[in-house]
A = this chain, B = another copy of it.
Amino acid sequence: MTGNSDRRVRRTRQAIQRALIELILDKGYETTTVTDIINRADVGRSTFYAHFTDKQDVLFGNLDDLVFLHAGPPSEGPLFGFSLPMFEHVQSQRQLVSALLGRRGGGAVIARGEQMLAEVVRRELLARAPQPTPRLDLVVTAVVGAFMGLLRGWADDQFAATPVEMDRTFRTVVTPGVTMILTSGEPA
């Protein structure tokens, strides 16, 4: 645990992480280079690679702090209850989230977000299914796809909308079909 106790280590790591966030806000994730980061953080090149393997490594070290999982226990409240709180949270962190999730952000972050969200949705559906639903994985994928699609479009300013509108669209499109599947054990 040397890494944590030495002040120099803490300072350096934090400088690098802050620098990345700032740069993401400035010019987006993809276009930010390691060279940019070490310049902004004012650390030596070797120092960077002593702490992180990658740009992505830095980001993921940070990502857990930013995790927007306001997901409560699975079976409380309405179906897909995570939706509105999530859209609201995204709006409050608009700049950063846009930079990470939009077209200018890396696919890596989106992939990670999709995975986490899929887990949430999966549990929610399992908790509510009265009978085993066939091909639940497919349903989860479709639902996550709809949500993330909306989120990305929003992040990219393809349309202006309030969190409430986003939430309403998502639920209105997706909930009736999913409810049918859950109750009837129907396809897919």
A→B interface (CB under 8 Å): 103, 107, 111, 114, 135, 137-139, 141-150, 152-153, 158-159, 161, 165-166, 168-170, 172-178, 180-181, 186-188
* Bound form: Cα–Cα A187–B162 in Å: 13
Interface SS majority for chain A: helix
CB-defined contacts of A188 to chain B, threshold 8 Å: 161, 165-166, 168-169, 172
* Bound form: Cα–Cα A178–B152 in Å: 20
CB-defined contacts of A114 to chain B, threshold 8 Å: 149
Known: A141-B149, A141-B169, A174-B177; 18 extra A-B contacts, CB below 8 A, are A107-B107, A114-B149, A135-B159, A139-B173, A141-B150, A141-B159, A142-B149, A142-B170, A145-B149, A146-B173, A168-B187, A169-B187, A172-B177, A172-B186, A172-B188, A173-B174, A174-B174, A176-B177
